[in-house]
């Protein structure tokens, strides 16, 4: 009997070993076939083990310069190996268009962020993405967005009141941290009718700290492919910190959802809706939306979308605003041109609020915002995974390949943008845009998977800047060097220090 059992165990072990060997051999053969095909894509010589990891300085100013230098010799696409992980980078409007116009799913790098934002619109693909996009699109209709203009003006009032002490005392403030509180305040109030008084509480807000830390952890993990497998990363101290922050942001989302459900159950939801001029907010739509089969979003799907919009609705917008402040503070001539346009607009108004119909009239501000979205690229790259073989620039790309659409590089491509590192808002004068490729400027992505909230974000950015520059002039700290840090969004490594100077017309 013992001999029979021993023989059976031996057979099982041998079978398991053979099966593992077959899997490994198949994986090696598949890798060799794929790498043989990808050799046709332009690339630098790669190390047999590290690939190009040692060539990439990191997610910093040196890393951005590396991308620009590489683009000077490979301006349309190139291949980078992160160890044994191949990444095809597209960085020209024509090559980016081939990917952006499709609905190819996101993956690869986005798998690293999934424990944070879940399988929401940012990450999900296929039929689920199409269904949820269709259900959530009404949340960004013009009639929904218009009442938010008042909320954004009131949030700007709070910000302006906060910085008056810096102006009074001739002091600098750090733009990113203060602006992040403004954008968090806006998204909580507009999308969820949720008031935390976060701008007045100030300081180290735990939600913003969690977002900032997780963004940095993701940037570090991306360049360490041996930490991409979750079971390995979860064993590290960074992995444990990342998941602790994820648990916290999930709790914030769950609290918001629970309070709204309680309000709706008690009938208070009707009062909220009335105050909003009978407009539903984002959370109302999440809770009530149903597809053609009468099926709504599950509890987890609702939380995933809340997590996604809390992050995307405040962090990327804070980056856009802060970098625009940086550029305008560093270019007084453009700051003055923006202020003149704002002053002309305000001359015939009874209040200092910026209304929806005012936004299109702020011509120079609009050009400056677009130029800053190009120059600084708040979202520096997005990634897709090919589901089928395709050809880009006559180069074969096999199915299952990660494609990085490097928005920062598209926005600095020397074949499209002259002197791309210069701040030149006139690039976006109407006469200079007519013949430009539609995919040359894609700060909110493009195609079917473009950012659903781009109009919401642009309204917020312009209202904030118009209100700020109507009352103050802004100046950079000459003793503080501003350096970029490329994480999930484009950040400033040590912040941006700004001094507000009360304009003479507001001195009493």
Check if the beta carbon of residue 407 is closer than 8 Å to that of residue 442. yes
User: What integer pLDDT is reported at residue 41 of this predicted model?
Assistant: 95
pLDDT at 327 over 90: yes
% of the chain with per-residue pLDDT over 90:
56
Mean pLDDT within 238-244 = 95
Mean pLDDT for the stretch of residues 95-108: 84
pLDDT digits (tens, 9 = 90+) for 368-424: 999 999 999 999 999 998 889 999 999 999 998 999 999 999 999 999 999 999 999
Whether residue 149 contacts residue 300, with contact meaning beta carbons closer than 8 Å, is answered with no
Range of the domain at 147: 49-506
Residue 508 has pLDDT above 70, yes or no: no
User: Which pLDDT score, from 0 to 100, does residue 272 have?
Assistant: 45
Please count the other Cβ atoms lying within 10 Å of the Cβ belonging to residue 213: 15
HSE at residue 72, side-chain half, CA atoms within 13 A, is: 8
Higher pLDDT, 20 or 129: 129
**Position 174 confidence tier, pLDDT thresholds 50, 70, 90:** very high
258 assigned to some structural domain: yes
Residue 196, classed as helix, strand or coil, is coil
- Rounded to an integer, the average pLDDT of 84-93 is 94
450-481 confidence digits (pLDDT tens):
999 999 999 999 999 999 999 999 999 999 99
pLDDT at 299: 86
Residue 331 resides in a domain: yes
10 domain residue, yes or no: no
Provide the pLDDT confidence category of residue 107 given band limits of 50, 70 and 90: low
Say if residues 30 and 84 touch (Cβ distance below 8 Å): no
Determine, yes or no, domain membership for 233.
Answer: yes
**Could you give the CA distance from residue 141 to residue 14 in angstroms, rounded to a whole number?**
62
Q: What is the pLDDT of residue 507?
A: 63
CATH number of the domain where residue 408 is located: 1.10.630.10
The H or E element containing residue 95 is helix 93-100
Residue 404 lies in a domain: yes
Rounded percentage of the chain residues whose pLDDT exceeds 70? 94
- 312 or 507: whose pLDDT is higher? 312
For residue 454, the SS3 value is helix
Give dist(CA 31, CA 85) in Å, integer: 10
| CB contact at 8 A, 88 and 79 | yes
CA distances 169 to 118, 163, 200, 207, 477, Å, are 44, 10, 19, 29, 15
Is 60 part of a structural domain of the chain?
A: yes
Q: Are 246 and 116 in contact (CB under 8 A)?
A: yes
Residue 152 lies in a domain: yes
Rounded Cα gap, residues 274 and 258, in angstroms: 21
Q: Is the pLDDT of residue 316 over 60?
A: yes
Residue range 181-218, pLDDT digits in tens: 999 899 988 888 888 888 887 657 788 888 889 888 98
Q: What is the mean pLDDT of residues 446-452?
A: 90
DSSP labels for 349-399? -SSSPPPGGGGGG-HHHHHHHHHHHHHH-SS--EEEE-SS-EEETTEEE-T
Is residue 306 a contact partner of residue 256, using CB atoms and an 8 Å limit? yes
Query: What is the H or E stretch that residue 117 is in?
Result: helix 109-117
pLDDT at residue 275, rounded to an integer: 47
| pLDDT value at residue 430 | 92
> Mean per-residue pLDDT for 72-100?
95
pLDDT of amino acid 1: 62
* Listed ranges 13-17, 115-119, 250-254, 320-324; the one with the highest mean pLDDT: 320-324
Tell me if 286 is assigned to some domain: yes
Count of domains forming the chain = 1
Residue 278 confidence (pLDDT)? 44
**pLDDT at residue 30, rounded to an integer:** 77
How would you list the strands of the sheet with 472-476, edge to edge? 173-174, 497-502, 472-476
pLDDT for the residue 203: 58
pLDDT band at 268 (very low <50, low <70, confident <90, very high): low
């Amino acid at each position: 009997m013992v001999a029979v059992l021993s023989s059976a165990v031996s057979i099982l072990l041998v079978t398991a070993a053979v099966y593992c060997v077959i899997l490994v051999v198949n994986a090696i053969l598949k890798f060799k076939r794929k790498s043989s095909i990808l050799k046709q894509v332009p690339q630098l010589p790669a190390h047999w083990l590290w690939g190009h990891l040692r060539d990439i300085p990191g997610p910093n100013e040196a890393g951005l310069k590396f991308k620009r230098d590489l683009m000077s010799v490979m301006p349309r696409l190139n291949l980078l190996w992160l160890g044994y992980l191949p990444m095809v980078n597209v960085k020209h409007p024509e090559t980016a268009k081939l990917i952006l116009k499709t609905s190819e799913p996101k993956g690869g790098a986005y798998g690293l962020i999934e424990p944070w934002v879940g399988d929401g619109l940012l990450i999900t693909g296929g039929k689920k993405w199409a269904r949820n996009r269709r259900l959530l699109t009404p949340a960004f209709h013009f009639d929904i967005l218009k009442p938010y203009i008042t909320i954004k003006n009131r949030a700007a009032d709070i910000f302006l009141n906060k910085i008056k002490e810096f102006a009074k005392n001739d002091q600098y403030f750090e733009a990113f941290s203060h602006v992040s509180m403004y954008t968090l305040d806006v998204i909580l109030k507009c999308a969820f009718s949720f008031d935390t008084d976060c701008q007045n509480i100030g300081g180290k807000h735990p939600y913003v700290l969690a977002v900032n830390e997780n963004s940095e952890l993701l940037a570090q993990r991306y360049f360490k492919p041996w930490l991409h497998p979750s079971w390995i990363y979860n064993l590290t101290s960074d992995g444990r910190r990342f998941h602790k922050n994820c648990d916290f942001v999930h709790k914030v989302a769950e609290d918001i959802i629970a309070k709204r459900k309680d309000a709706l159950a008690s009938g208070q939801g009707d009062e909220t809706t009335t105050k909003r001029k009978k407009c539903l907010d984002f959370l109302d739509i999440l809770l009530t939306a149903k597809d053609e089969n009468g099926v709504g979003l599950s509890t987890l799907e609702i939380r995933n979308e809340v997590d996604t919009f809390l992050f995307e609705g405040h962090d990327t917008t804070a980056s856009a605003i802060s970098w625009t402040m940086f550029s305008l503070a560093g270019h007084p001539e453009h700051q003055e041109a923006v202020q003149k346009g704002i002053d002309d607009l305000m001359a015939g108004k009874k209040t200092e609020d910026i209304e929806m119909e005012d936004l299109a009239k702020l011509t120079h501000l609009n050009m400056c915002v677009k130029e800053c979205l190009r120059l600084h690229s708040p979202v520096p790259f997005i990634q897709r995974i090919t589901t089928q073989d395709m050809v880009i620039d006559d180069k074969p790309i096999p199915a299952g390949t990660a494609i990085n659409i490097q928005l920062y590089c598209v926005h600095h491509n020397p074949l499209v943008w002259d002197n791309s590192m210069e701040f030149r808002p006139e690039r976006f004068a109407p006469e200079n845009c007519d013949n430009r490729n539609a995919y040359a400027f894609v700060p909110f992505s493009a195609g079917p998977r473009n950012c659903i909230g781009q109009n919401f974000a642009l309204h917020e950015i312009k209202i904030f800047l118009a209100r700020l520059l109507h009352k103050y002039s802004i100046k950079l700290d000459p003793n503080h060097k501003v350096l970029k840090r490329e994480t999930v969004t484009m950040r400033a490594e040590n912040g941006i220090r700004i001094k507000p100077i009360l304009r003479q017309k507001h001195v009493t």
